[in-house]
Amino acid sequence: MSAFRPVARVATPAGPAALPEEVAVTLVYNGTTQAVMMATPADIEDFALGFTISEGIAPPAEAGEIEVVTHGLGIEARLWLPAAREAALAARRRALVGAVGCGLCGIDSLEAANRALPRLPDGGPVMSVADLHAALAALTTRQPFHDETHAVHAAALWHGGEIVIAREDVGRHNALDKLIGAAARAGIAMGDCAVLVTSRLSVEMIQKTVVAGAPILASVSKPTAHALRLAEGANLTLISTAGGHPVAYCHEARLT
């Protein structure tokens, strides 16, 4: 558990204000630092596991126990991987030190930034337009940090007709990683779910969603052109409600 608080109360010329905190979170595998990200100091175990999954470092069963250690300057999340995973990680080592939500900062090759994605299986969950609107409306009630600060992103998991998990962070990629980790810790198979986010649908959001195995990614914002190309190739249904009308940009059979 982090000793940092996710929301700070500060005095401003306009009066008291609630602002989100962001701290350096170091992800350490087998004693070696893999990444340092600026993140909201909440749900750190979820973040560490989700990053491990979405970056293809290890599946949940091989991530081991997660130890969270708070220092004066930030937080360490320590994980221990099997020898084979450790060797593979060392071979692709990258020092990922980025600004908030900078999902590709520090990647040391164009190949890593454009990593090949698996193709998701056909089928999976189907959402109606009514389901989508209801889920996005429900998400607005699951964002306590946003309600206080109006300065964080959210990611949520839709399963069985309802929002079952929601996570928030100052970084959109971090919020998604926290969601992925929370789902894994809850034993929820993401292949049966849709992911909802409040941010733009950028390349990294598609990459993380596909690697996690979710077949639907929906947002109140639009995708980038390259994100759409990746989603098309990965059999990921990409949905935006920007402008008030849901649009499935690809693999539209999952939206009815």
Ranges in the chain, pLDDT < 50: 1, 94-100, 103-106
Please tell me whether residues 108 and 143 are part of one structural domain.
no
In this predicted structure, what is the pLDDT of residue 96? 41
Q: What's the DSSP call for residue 14?
A: T
d(CA 156, CA 195): 6
Burial label, 176 (beta-carbon count in 10 A; 0-12, 13-18, 19+): buried
Assess if residue 64 is contained within a domain. Answer: yes
Which of 113, 141, 156 marks a domain boundary? 113
d(CA 75, CA 69): 6
Which of 113, 144, 167 marks a domain boundary? 113
- For residue 219 the two structure tokens come to 């947002």
In this predicted structure, what is the pLDDT of residue 90? 83
Assess if residue 197 is contained within a domain. Answer: yes
Which of 113, 140, 162 marks a domain boundary? 113
Please tell me whether residues 176 and 84 are part of one structural domain.
no
Please tell me whether residues 240 and 136 are part of one structural domain.
yes
Please tell me whether residues 148 and 97 are part of one structural domain.
no
Catalytic residues: 102
In this predicted structure, what is the pLDDT of residue 108? 52
Place of tokens 């996570």: 167
In this predicted structure, what is the pLDDT of residue 5? 84
Please tell me whether residues 87 and 192 are part of one structural domain.
no
- Compute how many other C-beta atoms are within 10 angstroms of the C-beta atom of residue 185: 16
Please tell me whether residues 108 and 139 are part of one structural domain.
no
Q: Say if CB 191 and CB 56 are below 8 A apart.
A: no
In this predicted structure, what is the pLDDT of residue 177? 98
Give the containing element (helix H, strand E) for 226: helix 225-234
- Nearest CA to 216 among 250, 182, 169? 250
d(CA 208, CA 155): 12
Domain that holds residue 12: 7-113
| Count of domains forming the chain | 2
Assess if residue 2 is contained within a domain. Answer: no
In this predicted structure, what is the pLDDT of residue 94? 47
Place of tokens 């077949």: 215
- Could you tell me the CATH number of the domain that includes residue 19? 3.10.20.10
Please tell me whether residues 55 and 109 are part of one structural domain.
yes
Please tell me whether residues 174 and 210 are part of one structural domain.
yes
- State the pTM of this model: 0.90
| Close Cβ partners of 214 (under 8 Å, ≥ 6 residues apart) | 157, 190, 191, 193, 194, 195, 236
| Close Cβ partners of 25 (under 8 Å, ≥ 6 residues apart) | 36, 37, 38, 39, 41, 44, 47, 74, 75, 76, 77
Assess if residue 202 is contained within a domain. Answer: yes
Assess if residue 123 is contained within a domain. Answer: no
Please tell me whether residues 63 and 135 are part of one structural domain.
no
Please tell me whether residues 142 and 249 are part of one structural domain.
yes
> For the chain, how big is the Rg over CA atoms in Å?
18
d(CA 45, CA 67): 8
Q: How far is CA 49 from CA 9, 56, 63, 102, 123, in A?
A: 29, 11, 7, 18, 27
First to last CA, the chain: 42
- Could you tell me the CATH number of the domain that includes residue 138? 3.40.140.10
Please tell me whether residues 173 and 137 are part of one structural domain.
yes
- Compute how many other C-beta atoms are within 10 angstroms of the C-beta atom of residue 137: 10
Q: What's the DSSP call for residue 152?
A: -
Assess if residue 98 is contained within a domain. Answer: yes
Please tell me whether residues 51 and 93 are part of one structural domain.
yes
In this predicted structure, what is the pLDDT of residue 111? 58
